[in-house]
Amino acid sequence: MERAERVPQPAPPNGRRLAPLLSLLFPGAGHIYAGRQERGLWIAVTAATLLTLLWWLKFWSLLPALVPFWLWNAWETRTIVQGRRPSTVKLVLSAAIIVYAIGWRVTEIDVQRLAAGAQKIRPFVVSLVRPYYVDREVTYAAFPAPVQVPCGEEPSPPPAGAGSGPTIVPTPACASVGETITVRGEGFPPNVEGELWWENPIGDRVRLRSGGEFVTFVADEQGTFEVKVTVPDVVPRQFQESAQLHTVEARYVRDVGPWRLTETSYLVAQRMGETIAQALMATTWGAIFAVPLSFFAARNLMQFHPLALLVYYLARTALNVLRAIEPLIMAIVFVVWVGLGPFAGVLALTMHSIAALGKLYSEAIESIDPGPIEAITATGANRVQVVWYAVLPQVLPPFVAFTVYRWDINVRMSTIIGFVGGGGIGFLLQQWIRLTDFRSASAAIWAIALVVTVLDFFSRKVRERFV
């Protein structure tokens, strides 16, 4: 028989006025006075918790957000003393206002900063539509000229004169870091566009910039150009005390060959294959260890004896602990243990796969039909025979589906594991992002998306077939 729901009874006239006033003084007090002790206690604990959070975080400016909850609590008390049912949903929503206000402040959500920083992500977004899979082979023509940095006691190198081919002449021929020199070019092909580079005494080269933009030149109809450049701060420390010869170089594209696959394409294909292999090995080893563990973690198979029930609780605890540790943390541990590389990633994914698959397998075992188990047990079969003939035929299809789905998950996880040295495509992706090589990074991202999409389609087909 169902328990009849208690209908609130109207309070006496004095209680109708006093109860709301008590709730205004402190939430929940009026509920307790009106006979709704459990509800009043929950409201009082909620109010105390919210006030404690505001005090601990020193978010005094959020106190107004607590007003709706405070007022609704008093209004609800008035409803109760009048003999009507209170609205729990409205009370929860009024409390949610302050909870979300605290969450907004703690997480430092700033929509203005989101909009202001959109320009910073523009190069990466643009690179996503131009992944560096193919490129054309380009041959450059380069024409250098010496520059003394800084000016020393020895005379500066004489400027090169115009010869039969293109030449450049820096004026003056010596300067200090940060000073401006004029680079004049002669004998270049008419209307050709090019770049200016700088090389220091130890062979380090940088492309010259001015105002944050790369310095370029365009030759006129006579093949001459003139641009001003600033001597960059690329002087090695051991050469800063004396004058050294640097080189300014003018380059232009001499020839453009056919389209070809870039080195990035080969690296992405190689590391993507490594990522898939990582996921495959981790899923296989995870399934091998998870299958026997899942039978010990299935309550319907382990409640025949108190000792077996203890084994069940131990197995469940082990699965929960392993599943609670993120693969990224496990990868850091194994990188320290076995060093950088895909082996550390495989170990991390295997440990997490054992926990995840063990839980899924055990729940599949617990949901099987007990009829075949009872029938085979009645014939006198032992525990192994019961599992082999009554349990395995029922759980094999979901086991296969869960395993394939786990492989799909491990491919995605192995990408993140690579960020901490676990090998795979993630390691390359992290390096390219750090070097701001966004076109190469976008090539890796599109490869990951393609492989995950294909594996997701494959795993879905397998699940549809077996489940």
**Residues 355, 317: Cα–Cα separation, whole Å:** 10
- Does one domain contain both 87 and 152? no
Asked whether residue 126 is assigned to any structural domain, the reply reads no
Domain containing 71: what range? 13-109
Asked whether residue 122 is assigned to any structural domain, the reply reads no
Who contacts 161 (Cβ-Cβ below 8 Å, separation ≥6)?
A: 167, 169
- CATH code at 352? 1.10.3720.10
Q: H/E element holding 256?
A: strand 244-261
Who contacts 160 (Cβ-Cβ below 8 Å, separation ≥6)?
A: 145, 167, 168, 169
**Residues 23, 18: Cα–Cα separation, whole Å:** 9
Q: Cα 328 to chain center, whole Å? A: 11
Residue 143 burial (CB count, 10 A): 18
**Residues 49, 316: Cα–Cα separation, whole Å:** 33
- Does one domain contain both 151 and 242? yes
DSSP string over 403-462: HHHHHHHHHHHHHHHGGGT--SHHHHHHHHHHTT-HHHHHHHHHHHHHHHHHHHHHHHHH
**Residues 467, 464: Cα–Cα separation, whole Å:** 6
Residue type, 59: F
- Does one domain contain both 175 and 197? yes
- Does one domain contain both 399 and 269? yes
Asked whether residue 57 is assigned to any structural domain, the reply reads yes
Per-residue pLDDT in tens (0 to 9) along the chain, 467 residues: 344 445 455 555 555 678 888 888 889 898 888 888 899 999 999 999 999 999 998 888 988 998 999 999 989 888 888 888 888 888 899 999 999 999 999 988 888 888 888 888 888 888 888 898 988 888 888 899 999 888 877 665 655 554 567 999 999 988 888 889 999 999 999 999 999 999 988 888 888 887 667 889 999 999 999 999 988 887 655 555 678 889 999 999 887 788 889 899 999 999 999 999 999 999 999 999 999 999 899 888 888 788 888 999 999 999 999 888 988 899 999 999 998 889 999 999 999 999 999 999 999 888 888 788 778 878 878 777 887 888 888 888 888 888 988 988 898 888 888 888 888 898 888 888 888 888 899 999 999 999 988 888 887 777 777 66
Decide: 242 and 218 in contact? Cβ < 8 Å: no
**Residues 141, 196: Cα–Cα separation, whole Å:** 12
- Does one domain contain both 227 and 289? no
Q: What is the DSSP letter of 188?
A: P
Angle value at C-alpha 317, between 315 and 319, nearest 5 degrees: 70
- Does one domain contain both 215 and 344? no
Asked whether residue 375 is assigned to any structural domain, the reply reads yes
Asked whether residue 384 is assigned to any structural domain, the reply reads yes
Decide: 347 and 280 in contact? Cβ < 8 Å: no
Mode of pairing for the β-strands spanning 193-199 and 216-218 = antiparallel
- Does one domain contain both 198 and 326? no
Q: Is the dihedral of CA 282, 285, 288, 290 positive or negative?
A: negative
Asked whether residue 7 is assigned to any structural domain, the reply reads no
Asked whether residue 124 is assigned to any structural domain, the reply reads no
Q: Which of 257, 280, 302 is the last residue of a domain?
A: 257
Q: Which of 61, 92, 109 is the last residue of a domain?
A: 109
Residue type, 37: Q
- Does one domain contain both 171 and 33? no
Bridge partners for 142 per DSSP: 251
What confidence tens digit (pLDDT) does each residue in 73-100 have? Answer: 989 888 888 888 888 888 899 999 999 9
Of 263, 270, 272, which is closest to residue 415 (Cα–Cα)? 272
Q: Which of 257, 278, 298 is the last residue of a domain?
A: 257
Q: Is the dihedral of CA 100, 103, 108, 113 positive or negative?
A: negative
Bridge partners for 228 per DSSP: 182
Rounded to the nearest 10 degrees, the angle between the axes of helix 342-366 and helix 306-324 is 140
- Does one domain contain both 386 and 273? yes
Decide: 231 and 176 in contact? Cβ < 8 Å: yes
Asked whether residue 165 is assigned to any structural domain, the reply reads yes
Name the one residue in this structure whose structure tokens are 């505001």: 54
- CATH code at 231? 2.60.40
- Does one domain contain both 443 and 309? yes
What confidence tens digit (pLDDT) does each residue in 282-305 have? Answer: 999 999 999 999 989 988 888 878
How many domains does the chain contain in total?
3
- Does one domain contain both 346 and 404? yes
- Does one domain contain both 270 and 419? yes
